[in-house]
Amino acid sequence: MTADHDGDTAAGGEPELSDSLRTFGAVLKALREADGLTQE
């Protein structure tokens, strides 16, 4: 018997992000791009 934990992860094995975390990421990206910065 195995446990089924599909509700916590996306198809690629990554945890699903909450809406608030997605919003934070989008705001951070916009601010970073406004300053001409990249993740690299």
* % residues pLDDT > 70 (the chain): 70
Cβ atoms of 14 and 21 within 8 Å: the answer is no
d(C-alpha 25, C-alpha 3), whole Å: 32
Beta bridge partner(s), residue 21: none
Name the residue with tokens 């300053």.
Answer: 35
Ranges of the chain with pLDDT below 70: 1-11
The two structure tokens encoding residue 30: 């916009």
For residue 10, the model assigns a pLDDT of 60
Burial 19-33 (b: 16+ CB within 10 A, else e): eeeeeeeeeeeeeee
